Amino acid sequence: MTRNEVVELLEQINAAYPNKIEQTETTFNLWLRQMKDQTAADVFRRLDAYILVNKFAPGIGDLKRVERPEHNKNPLQKYEHWKSNASQGPSEEQKLRIREILSAREG
């Protein structure tokens, strides 16, 4: 987002939630720094959705989308990852030990 877009964003937040965000240079610079990698259209869309269901003013985290590695994987990739890291079950030695313990309890 550009400086002008962040100004517009803060104005819209203050229009929906009067006097909830301080109008200071520090506040503006923080929002600008945090939103510089966001597109204005996406942020304003998230703001519109946020306003419809929240009675308190949004924070940066409510409007900023942060890419997380797990969001970039498709379900098949996740399945293959889980499958390759899954345990192969107990070893024959472990199975034998479990049988011994269970038979000792029964006996």
Q: What is the DSSP string of 39-94?
A: -HHHHHHHHHHHHHH-SS---HHHH-----GGGGS-HHHHHHHHHHHS-----HHH
Q: What is the pLDDT of residue 26?
A: 96
Task: Give percent above pLDDT 70 in the chain.
Answer: 93
Kindly indicate the confidence band of residue 8, based on its pLDDT and cuts at 50, 70 and 90.
very high
C-alpha span between 62 and 79 (Å, rounded): 30
pLDDT tens, residue by residue, 45-89: 999 999 999 999 999 999 999 877 666 667 777 777 777 777 777
Task: Give percent above pLDDT 90 in the chain.
Answer: 57
Q: pTM for the complete prediction?
A: 0.63
Mean pLDDT, the chain, integer? 89
Please name the fold of domain 3-106.
Helicase, Ruva Protein; domain 3 (1.10.8)
Q: What is the pLDDT of residue 16?
A: 97
